[in-house]
Structure 1
């Protein structure tokens, strides 16, 4: 077993504290990754605040980068010292229709194994996440970090990035497409960068007028202040596709009316509720869809695209000692646009 230090929730409602635990020794196709940077996602906040038995202690974190520290006997894709990244899934059944079609992210045998709050398919142990000094995963779910990508801002590509990329690629966004992006946070700001680099006309929707200049600096061709009902109504029949990354409850109807004939609105955020006026779907034969993370092949495709176009997340990097600050900032929405933990100090913090 491999000694590891993580940042864990130990009691329901309690703080996140250093915890010494053990990772498995690499299996024949495993890669051990010494983690340098790990993103802090809003789903991590929810996991921390909602942590309960039997999932305690719990180490969150599911978008991280690092260097290979060991490899299994049959690994041929990586060597010790390689720069790599790991995302929010680390295994799947490999045998269902979806897995055989290369859509392991939609595995129907219990879903893909999550980086944390999952169950290892081989030994039955609960998975612990990337707020830690090391992770061990099958080489099929470990990704080479291309040269030229700065590791810290590349880390969020493995969750926020692939979630936006998967939808844009599935709906074949590119030259000639006019797309809207609702919610310019972790997912949305990368959606703007991706869509622009793919050749689309990109329009961002924000509730905050003060953010217009910053959003245009990301590459948006236009910004609509959606808290202005007249500005929102003026977008009628403008878009081929709308990517909705908002996590708060909201009415989808004005955005559906902004779609052209046969247009699609895709939900990436996970709001507790949404409102939909059915007429806004029927008139124009609009489609309302959902999407999530991507397959390993899509992740590799995205990383290569990012290296080619110089795309990484806009991040604030904080030492692991400031994790509580990071969680509080995320809850307040005080982030532009992603937070990343520098885990260099974590070993010394072990109790």
Structure 2
């Protein structure tokens, strides 16, 4: 089927309309008319080929909310008319250790990501949510609770699960003390989710002036992380710290704020840590430095259901598809509170 989308044709050209072919639906497929698509830093990285492996043209978008318009004969749980979501993955091998334990994002053979990858069954390129329609296997389609605003729910499919997964993994609850490093798309979701789980939440930030936003989102405390006196006051305090910083930075000061057997989880950065991490705090206090990458499908549905119960969505700015390049520039400048979401109805409008 012919689909209209918005694509990057090169690392330097503005995004532009692009017509492409979606596969014909299989028996286990769900066909979704896209209503909203969140804008993630990963979209920008792919568009500008920061990792060096983007194949053009690329249609970004992996925070997708839409309405089901048809289902295959083997689909059992999704109905026509349902509001559903599609996140970062649309397939995996289904049989490796990770997949069989509900961690498809860690598929040993590699998950099939929503855009910029190759469908493992038919070899077609995957194209993302900056488009009018998508075809996805039922196993990778998520139910969106009726209590959630669909536009605000879009970033839950990436920012939400990325921060929920470590909170879930390390069993954050009423007695937990949680730190969040950075107040952006990931950080604001980490604060909301940790607070709803009952934790005492602290925002670490280098930017004076974010206190009001942090408290509004649910933080109990704000620590200016380049203020040595404030950092000393919270030494040996936290059970879990979620580090959302997307670039190389010094994690050593934060390791000192972890309590015994405390855990610092990197969720925003994939590169080498600079300066090197000092092993002493880990040895003396059994402190853990680890990482987490999105989450499995069942875990994502659990997060969405939790958000439905607590009416948690992302703080968003709704934009037209024609404004995507400006949104990328503003995102790089930190000029968004806290996530852009594209109204896909704008796709058919003239500029």
1:159 aligned residue? 158
Report Cα offsets for 1:111-146 as digits up to 9, x if no partner: 111001221011011111111001111001001111
Mapping for residues 35-114 of structure 1, pairs under 5 Å: 35-50=34-49, 55-109=55-109, 111-114=110-113
| Uncovered stretches (5+) of structure 2, i.e. residues with no partner | none
| Partner-residue secondary structure (3-state), 2:209 | helix
Answer with 45-54 or 179-188: which moved more: 45-54
Q: Retained in 1: the 8 A contact 2:10–2:48?
A: no
Instruction: Spell out, residue by residue over 1:171-198, the C-alpha distance to the aligned partner (whole angstroms, 9 max, x if none).
Output: 1111111110101111111111111111
CA distance in 1, matches of 2:11, 2:176: 47
CA contact (8 A) 2:180 2:241 kept: yes
Show the 5 A alignment for 1:112-127.
112-127=111-126
Counterpart residue number, 1:145: 144
Deviation track 1:249-293 (CA, whole Å, cap 9, x = no partner) reads: 211111001011111111101154423122232221211111011
Q: Are 1:44 and 1:61, in contact at CA under 8 Å, matched by a contact in 2?
A: yes
Residues 349 and 94 (structure 1), Cα distance of their counterparts in 2 relative to 1, 3 Å cut: farther
1:204-283 aligned at under 5 Å gives the runs 204-270=203-269, 272-274=271-273, 275=275, 276-283=277-284
How far 1:12 moved relative to its partner? 3.5
- TM-score, length of structure 2 as denominator length: 0.96
Structure 2 equivalent of residue 341 of structure 1: 342
Distance 2:9 2:326 in 1: 18
CA contact (8 A) 2:10 2:47 kept: no
Distance (whole Å) between structure 2 residues aligned to residue 221 and residue 79 of structure 1: 41
> Deviation at 1:349?
4.7
**Counterpart Cα distance in 2 of 1:53 and 1:97:** 27
Q: CA deviation at 1:31?
A: 0.5
Does 276-285 or 146-155 show the bigger shift?
276-285
Q: For the Cα contact (< 8 Å) 2:54–2:116, is it kept in 1?
A: no
Q: TM-score, normalised by structure 1?
A: 0.96
**Partner residue, 2:307:** 306
Separation in 2, partners of 1:310, 1:323: 28
Contact 1:225 1:231 in 2 (8 A): yes
Distance change >3 Å, CA 271–CA 78, structure 1 → 2: closer
After the TM superposition, list the runs of 4 or more consecutive aligned residues in structure 1 that deviate by more than 4 angstroms: 51-54
**Larger deviation: 271-280 or 189-198?**
271-280
- How far has the Cα of 1:64 moved from its partner? 1.1
Alpha-carbon distance between aligned partners in 2 of 1:282 and 1:231, rounded to the nearest angstrom: 24
| Cα contact 1:37–1:340 (8 A) shared by 2 | yes
Please state how far the C-alpha of 1:323 moved relative to its aligned partner.
0.6
Aligned residue in 2 for 1:319: 320
| Separation of aligned partners in 1, 2:183 and 2:53 | 34
Say what the alpha-carbon RMSD is for the aligned residues: 1.5
- Post-superposition offset of 1:53: 7.8
